[in-house]
Structure 1
Amino acid sequence: MDVPASPGIGPVLAKFSNVTRIAVLRGGGLGDLMYLYPALHAVKNAYPAAAITLLGTPIHAALAAATEGPVDAVEMLPVARGVHDGPRNGERFGDDAEDLAAQEVFFESMRSREFDVAFQMHGGGRFSNPFLLRLGARHTVGTRTKDAEPLERNLDYVYYQNEPDRWLEVAGLAGAPSIISPPLRPRPEHQQNMAGIRDPQRTSLVVVHPGATDPRRRWPASYFAEAAAGLAREGAQVLIVGDHTEKALAQEVAEVAVRQLPEGDRNAVRSMAGELDLGDLAALLSEATVMLASDSGPRHLAQALGTPTVGIFWVGNVLNAGPRGRGLHRVRMSWVTECPRCGADVTQVGWTAPHCGHDDTLIEGIAVADVVQDVLDLTATSLLLRGK
């Protein structure tokens, strides 16, 4: 079925001819990939006969395997400066550590694929554009800062831009107009795993993710606990999620919330952090009435699945990562522009200014009562849409 197209976020140039193999470069985590999905759908719609290979990371492969979407295959990126950091002996290591032998093997393999179009959708291009050019694709498209190597078709990289819109602009440069992206769908086996997760005695299911990669984007655990307790008192079942590194945080939120509840409501709140693979998380989020989270990958995943979300954001992150609509998504926003500890200007981000070295949260000033009310408002909307 044809998907309706719009003129595009930016210019929509002529399509490339005879395209059957497309590569898309994107490192990073779950949220980094979720930014791309509207553009990936647009590219797939414009080139329906082409196979899209994502050059990404293990979590990208896990998401593609667990959901029905526009990605046909995922190839693991080698460790490469500014493109993909990777583990070595159980540790993380930085931009200046590279695996050159693995890169050579990777590029030889990718050149043999003879990609027709390669998209650079990973930052401003200082490192990612030279990396992309080594794939040997017939056509190259992507973003570019002034000092980055040019591709065949380039979009100027300006840091403060909505990320999904940025990549829709890149898709437009390859002749792919914006479309109404269909929601992601968990595969049936994951939906089956989550069957029966709902407590029929509770009026709604709220999934809470208290984590975030950058500590400055984290709402305090005590605030999440207070919100969880307030929602449970209103009849919600509250499940707290996170990966294995967030188990202690999620358990803290659950335990503090339970202590605030009367005996009859205490079973309504529990942690599932570390218990779910990515496919099961997607299935759980698709079942949720509302998701409550700081700016994080799981919140972006919930949005892509069509689940209403309440997000707690720092203002700069809203510009880059905030949802566009407010009918299904609410944003609570902190307007802090200076580091709470040293006063450094935190709006100068990316490569333009070094991190001041402090990880104090920038979103502590957002009130719990306002967040709870947003969740309750969206609960009413979500239940109405689901016919409940």
Structure 2
Amino acid sequence: MKHPLPAQPRHIGVLRLSALGDVCNLVPTVRALQRQWPEARITWIIGKGEHSLLSGLSGVEFVVYDKGSGLSGMRALWRELADTRFDVLLHMQQALRASVLSLGLKADVRIGYDKARAKDAQHWFTHRQLTPHPRAHVLESFLDFARLLGVEDLTPRWNLSIPPSAHDEAASLTGESPYLLTSPCANPRLRNFRNWSAEGYAAVIEHAWTQHGFRTVLTGGGSTQEREMGERIQALCQPEAVIDAIGGTSLKGLLALIVRARAVIGPDSGPVHMANALGAPVVGLYATTNPDRAGPYCWRDFVVDRYPDAVRSYLHKDLEEVPWGQRVRHPDAMSLIHAEDVIERLEAVLRHVQDHKEREFPADET
């Protein structure tokens, strides 16, 4: 017998710890739940870095979990929520660690992914599973949780919070001059291979500077890989064309930089999804991941998509033959993207913005 779903949930739990891009793609589901049940309490269990990005999200209580804290951290979170019982827990993290964490949470019904989408046997830890949705974008997969609960208005909305201090932080770096923004390095996970070349970025930066007078802000964390990439890019560019902010901003400061940028350029990583959430024009660079599944949702028409070519070149298959979400884990895959491809998409997105004047999804909580 299926566990019944609440018709009018009073307290909704959301379990999604990471990552930055994914939590940005999840926010529209939270907004949809709030529109359907404005009186419902929503508690989101989230990772530390992800919380620093989304803190201040209206109508949401955050419970922060340190993903590196192991069993002691789980026990601490269980104690913190010992007196909390959710009408429904949305188990939206496909990882065994998160499933184990969910066992210490009290909920009348737990919803997880359908068997086709579940990883690490997540469906064993839930009472109800989503209706299958083959070939869904990540954002749509999150909305499927609201859809299962009977939410009617699934229009994507974000309304992220950017405090005045973050705008001050951004303005201190850029002044009033127009700029592009790029975060050239994706998360350095094992066999990720999402990074494009310094030479490619430099060619695009030079084009933006000579043709439009746009400087380019380089952003990212302070890792050795990111700093070295920034140095290589700058060595290939005119000094006045680049503002180096790598390792120099908070996540809220990065949001403030993004919302004022003329366009954002980057690989499949947090900043392109932040840009999408803020309505900032974005050119995604995709070869190792499928943009139909994980591209910047509202700006997929402006992605440089070399994923089908990478599948043929390195997996030796046609696109229709590989599983949805298959990654191309080859170090040369991103070399299929050429500077002229990116410049062409950049020009197209700039024309689009000029034609439409107003962004589709402005950040109205600033």
1:102 equivalent to 2:90? Answer no
**d(CA) in 2 for partners of 1:191 and 1:385?**
25
Deviation at 1:19, TM superposition (A): 3.1
- Residue matched to 2:284: 311
| TM-score, normalised with respect to structure 2 | 0.81
Aligned partner of 1:224 in structure 2 is 201
Report the AA paired with residue 151 of structure 1.
T
SS in 2 for 1:216: coil
Asked whether the 8 Å contact 1:339–1:345 carries over to 2, the reply is no
1:87-117: per-residue Cα shift (whole Å, max 9, x none)? 7xxxxxxxxxxx3333223223223122222
Q: Which structure has greater helix proportion? A: 2
User: CA separation in 2, counterparts of 1:107 and 1:230?
Assistant: 53
Whichever residue aligns with residue 138 of structure 1, its letter is D
Match of 2:302 among 302, 305, 330: 330
**Cα deviation per residue 1:104-150 (whole Å; 9 max; x = unaligned)?**
23223223122222111112x76644542431112322214275315
How far is the alpha carbon of 1:55 from its aligned partner? 1.1
Are residue 77 (structure 1) and residue 65 (structure 2) matched?
A: yes
Structure 1 counterpart of 2:193, one-letter code = R
1:243 maps to 2:240 = no
- In structure 1, C-alpha distance between the alignment counterparts of 2:101 and 2:245, rounded to whole Å: 39
Output the CA distance in 2 between the equivalents of 1:191 and 1:19. Answer: 37
Q: Which amino acid aligns with 2:240?
A: N
Q: Aligned pair 1:154/2:125, yes or no?
A: no
- Are 2:287 and 2:337, in contact at CA under 8 Å, matched by a contact in 1? no
Shift of 1:181: 1.0
Distance change (3 Å), C-alpha of 1:343 and 1:381: closer
1:125-274 counterparts in 2 under 5 A? 128-129=98-99, 131-145=101-115, 147=121, 148-149=123-124, 151-155=126-130, 160-177=135-152, 178-195=154-171, 197-198=173-174, 200=176, 204-213=178-187, 214=189, 215-234=192-211, 235-245=213-223, 246-258=226-238, 266-274=239-247
Q: Distance in 2 between matches of 1:330 and 1:272?
A: 25
Provide structure 1 residue ranges, at least 5 long, that are not aligned to the other structure. 1-13, 79-83, 88-98, 259-265
* Aligned equivalents of 2:356, 2:172: Cα separation in 1: 21
Judged with a 3 Å threshold, the aligned counterparts in structure 2 of structure 1 residues 325 and 282 are, in CA distance, closer, same or farther, namely closer
Q: CA deviation at 1:161?
A: 2.7
Q: Establish whether residue 281 from structure 1 lines up as the match of residue 254 from structure 2.
A: yes
Identify if the C-alpha distance between structure 1 residues 74 and 191 changes in structure 2 by more than 3 Å, giving closer, same or farther. same
> What is the letter of the counterpart of residue 237 of structure 1?
R
Cα displacement (A) at 1:222:
1.5
Q: Is the 8 A contact 1:224 1:253 kept in 2?
A: yes
Could you tell me which amino acid in structure 2 is paired with residue 164 of structure 1? Answer: L
Matches of 2:17 and 2:343 in 1, distance apart?
34
In structure 2, the partner of 1:93 is: none
Bigger Cα displacement from structure 2, 221-230 vs 317-326: 317-326
> Which secondary structure state, in structure 1, belongs to the residue aligned with residue 311 of structure 2?
coil
Equivalent of 1:115, from 74, 86, 107? 86
Q: Identify the residue that residue 264 of structure 2 maps to in structure 1.
A: 291
1:52 alignment counterpart: 42
1:338 and 1:325, CA in 2 relative to 1: closer, same or farther beyond 3 A? same
Alpha-carbon distance, 1:378 to partner: 1.9
Aligned-pair identity (%): 22
On the 8 A contact 1:254/1:270 being kept in 2, the answer is no
1:185, 1:305 within 8 Å by CA — same for their partners in 2? no
The one-letter amino acid of 2:107's match is A
Q: Is the 8 A contact 1:290 1:382 kept in 2?
A: no
Q: State the shift of 1:305 in Å.
A: 0.6
Return the TM-score normalized by structure 1: 0.77
8 Å CA contact retained: 1:339, 1:360: no
Q: Which letter maps to 1:74?
A: F
Question: Does residue 381 in structure 1 map to residue 358 in structure 2?
Answer: no
Worse-matched range after superposition: 156-165 or 292-301: 156-165
Gaps of 5+ in 2: 359-366
Range that drifts further, 106-115 or 157-166: 157-166
Q: Any idea what SS the aligned residue of 2:44 has?
A: strand
Report what 1:91 is aligned to: none
Question: Shift of residue 379 of structure 1?
Answer: 2.1
Pair 1:21–1:365, CA change in 2 (3 A): same
Q: How many residues align?
A: 339
